Structure 1
Amino acid sequence: MTIRYMNRPEALAYLNWAYPEPDTFYNTPKDAQPAVMDEIFADDGADYYSVLEGGDETLIGMYEFSFPDGIMSIGLGLAPAYTGQGRGHQFVLDGIAFGRQRYHYAGPVRLEVADFNARARHLYERLGFKTTGQRAAEAFGQPVTFIQMQLD
């Protein structure tokens, strides 16, 4: 597995991932892609990384790291073809380990997960994340509640 800064072709591939039901919430609408592309490459304190696998460096996932309030926050996603295969546990651990090493960070880790994503919430709880709150938001015109979780 290779983890590197996301480049524009990888970002475009990521934005075109098409998740089936019930995960279509995670699909980026075509009309929103230019704005999200700008966000990925903005100099705003968030870093996006591609997760590649195999000799052909197939894009299998992505990580996003930021440090609001000095605490590492991770966003992550597996490509649709790789979900539901038991890869999530190691994928999350690899992302946390990469972030800790890359940013020389040893503190708590935060993430947010959509409240309806019971599979991901269960995985994070098994890894030791605890619920710390929730946040109402809108994503591409859809209301959503994000569960905030932290691993100490």
Structure 2
Amino acid sequence: MTAADARAVERWRYPAPYDVYDRRSARSLDPAAEPGRYFAAENKEHLAGFFEFERQTEEGTLRFDLSLRPDLTGEGHGESFVSAGLRFAEDRWDADSYEVEVDSFNDRALTVYERLGFSPVEGQAVSDGGRSAEYVLMRSDGTPE
């Protein structure tokens, strides 16, 4: 991910209730500060989204986060987008399992992850940038298909 990609992501605006995913200064991206953590996903040479990866344990669990460009959400791209990102991660990190935290209200994302073989592990209340939210931690052993 380049600095220009990060600036583009920070301009993305999602419709409510997904506007909680708008990137504000508290959650700003700095790919130069953490090389190898953020990766841009392109579609026909245009930024379509990005992934953030972070190894969680020595046992091989890889936690990820992602964003799909707002105009591409709700259009049926979720499964292929997540699958492509995790295939990329498998080639790079050889993870044994994958974890993602999903807002409990985000039925679209929960459905995508369940279709890809993720299972809920636990729910947890956390504070994220001043907002309280309920998250569902989902895990998949092995690379989802």
Query: After TM superposition, is the score higher than 0.5?
Result: yes
User: In the alignment, is residue 69 of structure 1 matched against residue 57 of structure 2?
Assistant: yes
Out of 109, 112, 129, the position equivalent to 1:123 is 112
Any idea what SS the aligned residue of 2:109 has? helix
* 1:37 shift after superposition: 3.1
* 1:22 shift after superposition: 1.9
Q: Give per-residue Cα distances to partners, 1:38-90, cap 9 Å, x unaligned.
A: 4x4434x8600001111xx2111101111011311111110001111110010
Partner of 1:37: 29
Please, which runs of 5 or more residues in structure 2 have no aligned partner? none
Alignment partners' CA distance in 1, 2:127 and 2:96: 29
Identity %: 32
Alignment partners' CA distance in 2, 1:21 and 1:95: 25
Please, which runs of 5 or more residues in structure 1 have no aligned partner? 1-5
Greater shift in the superposed pair: 132-141 or 78-87: 132-141
Any idea what SS the aligned residue of 1:124 has? helix
Alignment partners' CA distance in 2, 1:106 and 1:117: 26
Partner of 2:70: 80
Q: Give per-residue Cα distances to partners, 1:103-122, cap 9 Å, x unaligned.
A: 2x141111111111111001
Counterpart AA for 1:28: R
RMSD of aligned Cα (Å): 1.7
Partner of 1:12: 7
Contact 1:46 1:66 in 2 (8 A): no
Contact 1:51 1:60 in 2 (8 A): yes
Any idea what SS the aligned residue of 2:57 has? helix
Partner of 2:46: 58
Alignment partners' CA distance in 1, 2:85 and 2:10: 19
Alignment partners' CA distance in 1, 2:95 and 2:36: 18
For this pair of structures, how many residues does the alignment match? Answer: 139
